[in-house]
């Protein structure tokens, strides 16, 4: 048994049905999407693989004995991955995030291209939030997974992994800008935790002398298994690439025969080559918000702002900016009234994340499902040197 929907042992089918919240087996209700449940089969299977333990010994992902699977389901909910394919990135991301899906490898897996020379990390991070750039990559992964499903049906075999091609021509010190590196590190951490088996290989072409420095910055955030999938091709990389991808599935730019309908060898309709982000996209240049409150969050400390919600269905909205560096932010619901509680003692409503609010002002909202005291928590516990000055409106 492969451990995938349609090829499960009886115990795996029972476990999957339990994870999906129904007593019916996947075979009884059809492959993918037919389960009348709160969790899709692919999501449930993904959480199982995230556990990295054998199926029979892994109970439903909501139990404490499978915390990795539970964290994965929490990640899917936080990123709204079940609905992410209806999301559209902002214009600057669509135009200047240098990547794209183009063709399939010789085994039928989709190929995801990344063009480093066109990557203006600083320009992107001055134009949109770090969270949107991460979401763009999760959106891309879900699109690729959907293509895998379509390929499985077309080819009559399981296609569940993707190939990636990284063109490192033009890598320079500007790509090693600290906030940009931290963004890439966070993405790979999320990739390893939530898509642990999706990568078939990471093919690197045109790697310059600076490549080992860049790779060493990312290396601690990927597993040894993923590191073994990194293939660095030499001077004859175009010929080597053809071992993995057929000529008619490979753009002329990369040594194949594929072109756009107008004959463009770069396949610009499929791969975005990016470029420098024009400054008129920089949010700091034209976002002027008058905030109601200012405060300083000391080094190694946090600040809590209480907001009482009297009725379920109310919308809690916030705007914030910081000076002195990024700031952690999350929303919690108090479990005891009239006293200060630690984050771990409260119910987490919006997971705490570090926001580059010193570069791009943040705003957000949530619909409160129950009455109570909602705590906006500004977190600077990770910074033992620098205090953060924040401005906010709730």
Q: Are 330 and 377 in contact, with CB atoms under 8 Å apart?
A: yes
**DSSP state, 365?**
E
pLDDT of residue 61: 44
pLDDT on residue 312: 87
SS3 state at 182: helix
Contact (Cβ atoms closer than 8 angstroms) between residue 72 and residue 61 = yes
Give residue 46's Cα distance to chain centre: 15
What was the pLDDT predicted at 65?
Answer: 41
On whether the CB atoms of residues 165 and 201 are closer than 8 A, the answer is no
Strands (E), the chain: 99-104, 110-115, 162-167, 199-205, 230-232, 293-297, 302-309, 315-323, 327-333, 347-355, 362-367, 372-379, 388-393
- How are strands ordered across the β-sheet holding 362-367? 293-297, 388-393, 315-323, 362-367
Q: Phi and psi of 378, rounded to 5°? A: -95, 120
Measured CA to CA in angstroms, residue 378 lies from 9, 278, 318 at distances of 47, 32, 12
Edge-to-edge strands of the sheet including 199-205? 99-104, 110-115, 162-167, 199-205, 230-232
Write the CA distances from 25 to 6, 10, 304, integer angstroms: 10, 9, 46
- How large is the angle between the packed helices 178-194 and 211-218, nearest 10 degrees? 50
What integer pLDDT is reported at residue 36 of this predicted model?
35
**If DSSP codes are grouped into helix, strand and coil, which group holds residue 271?**
strand
Report yes or no: 339 and 346 within 8 Å, Cβ to Cβ. no
Per-residue pLDDT tens digits of the chain, which is 394 residues long: 444 545 555 554 554 555 444 444 444 333 333 333 334 444 544 544 455 433 333 444 444 445 666 788 888 888 888 899 999 999 999 999 999 999 999 999 999 999 999 999 999 998 998 889 999 999 999 999 999 999 999 999 999 999 999 999 999 999 998 889 989 999 999 999 999 889 999 999 999 999 999 999 999 999 999 999 999 999 999 999 999 999 999 999 999 999 999 999 999 999 999 999 999 998 865 555 678 899 999 999 999 999 999 888 888 988 888 888 899 999 999 998 888 899 889 999 988 889 888 888 888 888 899 999 999 999 999 988 889 999 998 8
At residue 44's C-alpha, the angle toward residues 38 and 50, to 5°, is: 140
Residue 354 CA to chain centroid, in angstroms? Answer: 14
Kindly compute the dihedral angle of the four CA atoms of residues 255, 256, 257, 260, in this order, to the nearest 10 degrees: -90
Question: Half-sphere exposure of residue 362, counting CA atoms within 13 Å on the CB side?
Answer: 29
**Neighbouring C-beta atoms of residue 19, cutoff 10 Å:** 24
Q: pLDDT value at position 364?
A: 84
Contact of 111 with 163, CB cutoff 8 Å: yes
Helix (H) or strand (E) holding 183: helix 178-194
State the pLDDT at residue 258. 97
d(C-alpha 118, C-alpha 98), whole Å: 6
pTM: predicted TM-score of the whole model, two decimal places: 0.70
Q: How far is it, in rounded angstroms, from Cα 42 to Cα 50?
A: 12
């Amino acid at each position: 048994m492969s451990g995938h929907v349609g090829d499960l042992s009886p115990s795996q089918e029972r476990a999957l049905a339990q994870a999906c919240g129904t007593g019916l087996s996947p075979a009884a209700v059809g492959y993918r999407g037919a389960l009348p449940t709160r969790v899709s089969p692919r999501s449930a299977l993904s959480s199982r693989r995230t556990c990295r333990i054998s199926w029979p010994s892994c109970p439903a992902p909501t139990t404490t004995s499978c915390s990795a699977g539970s964290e994965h389901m929490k990640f899917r909910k936080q990123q709204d991955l079940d609905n992410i394919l209806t999301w559209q990135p902002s214009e600057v991301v669509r135009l200047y995030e240098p990547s794209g899906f183009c063709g399939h490898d010789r085994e039928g897996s989709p190929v995801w291209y990344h063009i480093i020379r066109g990557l203006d990390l600083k320009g992107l991070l001055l134009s949109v939030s770090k969270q949107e750039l991460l979401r763009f990559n999760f959106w891309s992964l879900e699109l690729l997974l959907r293509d895998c499903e379509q390929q499985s049906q077309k080819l009559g075999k399981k296609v569940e992994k993707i190939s990636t091609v990284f063109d490192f021509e033009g890598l320079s010190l500007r790509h090693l800008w600290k906030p940009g590196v931290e963004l890439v590190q966070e993405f790979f951490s999320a990739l390893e935790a939530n898509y642990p088996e999706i990568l078939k290989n990471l093919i690197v072409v045109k790697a310059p002398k600076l490549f080992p420095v860049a790779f060493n910055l990312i290396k601690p955030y990927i597993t040894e298994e993923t590191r073994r999938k990194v293939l660095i091709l030499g001077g004859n990389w175009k010929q080597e690439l053809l071992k993995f991808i057929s000529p008619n599935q490979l753009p002329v730019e990369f040594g194949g025969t594929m072109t756009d309908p107008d004959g463009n060898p770069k396949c610009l309709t499929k791969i975005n080559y990016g470029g420098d982000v024009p400054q008129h996209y920089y949010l700091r240049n034209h976002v002027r918000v008058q905030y109601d409150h200012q405060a300083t969050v000391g080094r190694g400390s946090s600040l809590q702002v209480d907001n009482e919600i009297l009725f379920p269905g109310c919308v809690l909205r916030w705007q914030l900016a910081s000076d002195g560096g990024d700031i952690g932010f999350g929303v919690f619901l108090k479990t005891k009234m009239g006293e200060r509680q630690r984050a771990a003692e409260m119910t987490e409503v919006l997971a705490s994340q570090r926001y580059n609010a010193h570069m791009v002002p943040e705003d957000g909202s949530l619909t409160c499902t129950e009455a109570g005291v909602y705590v906006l928590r500004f977190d600077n516990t990770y910074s033992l040197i620098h205090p953060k000055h924040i401005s906010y409106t709730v």
